């Protein structure tokens, strides 16, 4: 995340092998994106001590939290579920963001949870992140929720475009149109995941030019890039390995058009180390910096980080 409003920072999404990656190959990092829910165990609504810190993860991330600015990337909100928003979860998120001076909080446009009274935590995972229909009903559902999220967390709220293996056809509006309208009516911004768009183009023929042409790119505060793999005939957003050339090219084309872009974050799954090794994952940061600079984007002078 850039500390200078006119420049763009490059960072990593934390996972358990990030310290080992930085130990093997120190990298120029501007920020650390963190999934706060990976740092605690949730005992469910109404529990006397609902959120318990996972000590081992807290110890491994602490040196990085001390040195780098942090952005929060949530995974547990399920903003589109039929059940009410989980206010206790949002207050816990707000407290964590306050503790680490987090400038914004992002989540995913979609849903993955359904109510289940028999479950200890009151809900059940659908097994796969599912898309929301891009229509008036979804707009009406999400607008008050986003306002509530922004009020409780007290900071900008970014919605990330989904990767959909079960697309909904014949929708009232496109996804970029929905994101634009949510911004207009509820004040949300956008985390644009370019690998998710690439997955959609490979599997479902999404026209990337149409998508970024329709989205108000002034809403984009953060960009995600990642790698993927083929599985059972589909190209998946598995976060495995390095960023494909096509996604780097997309970054070069889109980033200069995002006037309020502050951060580009590389996401990789910890299992990628087995496929590509430690150093290439750290070196991806330098490659992304080079792509942005070559595209005319002013990149932040970063902190050399080793573990």
Which residue's CB is nearer to Fe ion, number 2 or number 238? 238
Least distance to Fe ion, CB of residue 37, Å: 15
Position 107 contacts Fe ion (CB under 5 A): no
Which residue's CB is nearer to Fe ion, number 51 or number 241? 241
Q: In angstroms, how far apart are the furthest CA atoms of the chain? A: 55
Listed in sequence order, the residues at least 6 apart from 155 whose beta carbon sits closer than 8 Å to its beta carbon are 97, 102, 103, 104, 105
Gap between the Cα atoms of 255 and 262, Å rounded = 10
Least distance to Fe ion, CB of residue 158, Å: 11
Which residue's CB is nearer to Fe ion, number 28 or number 193? 193
Looking at residues 286 to 305 of the shown chain, list those that interact with Fe ion (rule: CB under 5 A).
none
The length of the chain, given as a count of residues: 307
**What is the dihedral sign for C-alpha 177, 179, 182, 183?**
negative
- Burial of 75 by CB count in 10 Å (0-12 exposed, 13-18 middle, 19+ buried)? middle
Least distance to Fe ion, CB of residue 239, Å: 8
Looking at residues 179 to 198 of the shown chain, list those that interact with Fe ion (rule: CB under 5 A).
193
Which residue's CB is nearer to Fe ion, number 51 or number 157? 157
Least distance to Fe ion, CB of residue 48, Å: 34
Residue 29's nearest CA partner among 14, 10, 2, 15 is 10
Residue 270's nearest CA partner among 301, 303, 239 is 239
Stretch that binds Fe ion, among 79-87, 120-128, 221-229, 275-283 (CB under 5 A): 221-229
Which residue's CB is nearer to Fe ion, number 24 or number 242? 242
- Burial of 112 by CB count in 10 Å (0-12 exposed, 13-18 middle, 19+ buried)? buried
Least distance to Fe ion, CB of residue 140, Å: 26
Which residue's CB is nearer to Fe ion, number 92 or number 196? 196
Return phi, psi of residue 72, to 5°: -100, 125
Position 155 contacts Fe ion (CB under 5 A): no
Residue 203's nearest CA partner among 213, 195, 191, 192 is 195
Question: Which member of 89, 123, 181, 224 binds Fe ion (CB under 5 A)?
Answer: 224
Query: Which residues sit opposite 189 in a β-bridge?
Result: 158
Position 237 contacts Fe ion (CB under 5 A): no
Position 239 contacts Fe ion (CB under 5 A): no
Under 8 Å between Cβ of 159 and 176:
no
Least distance to Fe ion, CB of residue 15, Å: 13
**What is the dihedral sign for C-alpha 94, 95, 98, 103?**
negative
Which residue's CB is nearer to Fe ion, number 175 or number 193? 193
Residue closest to Fe ion when measured from CB atoms = 224
Position 221 contacts Fe ion (CB under 5 A): no
Least distance to Fe ion, CB of residue 160, Å: 5
Position 28 contacts Fe ion (CB under 5 A): no
Report how many residues bind Fe ion under the rule CB under 5 A: 2
Q: Which residues bind Fe ion (CB under 5 A)?
A: 193, 224
């Amino acid at each position: 995340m850039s500390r200078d409003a006119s420049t763009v920072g490059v960072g990593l999404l934390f996972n358990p092998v990030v310290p080992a990656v930085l130990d093997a190959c120190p990298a120029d990092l501007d920020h650390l994106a963190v999934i706060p829910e990976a740092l605690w165990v949730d005992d469910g609504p109404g529990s006397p001590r609902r959120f318990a810190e996972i000590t081992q993860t807290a110890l491994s991330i602490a040196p990085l939290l001390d040195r780098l600015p942090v952005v929060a990337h949530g995974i547990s909100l399920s903003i589109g579920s039929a059940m009410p928003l989980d206010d206790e979860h949002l207050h816990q998120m707000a407290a964590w963001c306050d503790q680490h001076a987090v400038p914004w909080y992002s989540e995913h446009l979609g849903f993955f949870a359904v109510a289940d009274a028999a479950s200890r935590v009151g809900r059940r995972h659908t097994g796969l992140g599912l898309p929301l229909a891009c229509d008036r009903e979804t707009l009406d559902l999400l607008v008050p929720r986003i306002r509530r999220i922004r009020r409780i967390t007290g900071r900008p709220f970014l919605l990330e475009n989904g990767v959909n293996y079960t697309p909904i056809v014949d929708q009232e509006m496109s996804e970029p149109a929905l994101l634009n309208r949510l911004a207009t009516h509820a004040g949300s911004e956008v985390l644009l995941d370019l690998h998710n768009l690439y997955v959609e183009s490979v599997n479902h023929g999404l026209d990337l030019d149409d998508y970024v042409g329709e989205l108000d790119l002034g809403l984009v505060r953060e960009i995600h890039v990642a790698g993927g793999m083929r599985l059972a005939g589909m190209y998946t957003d598995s976060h495995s390995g390095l960023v494909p050339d096509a996604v780097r090219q997309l970054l070069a084309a889109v980033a200069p058009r995002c006037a309020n872009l502050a951060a580009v974050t590389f996401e990789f799954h910890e299992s990628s180390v087995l496929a590509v090794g430690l150093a290439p994952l750290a070196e991806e940061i330098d490659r992304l910096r080079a792509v942005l600079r070559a595209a005319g984007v002013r990149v932040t002078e970063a902190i050399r980080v080793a573990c």
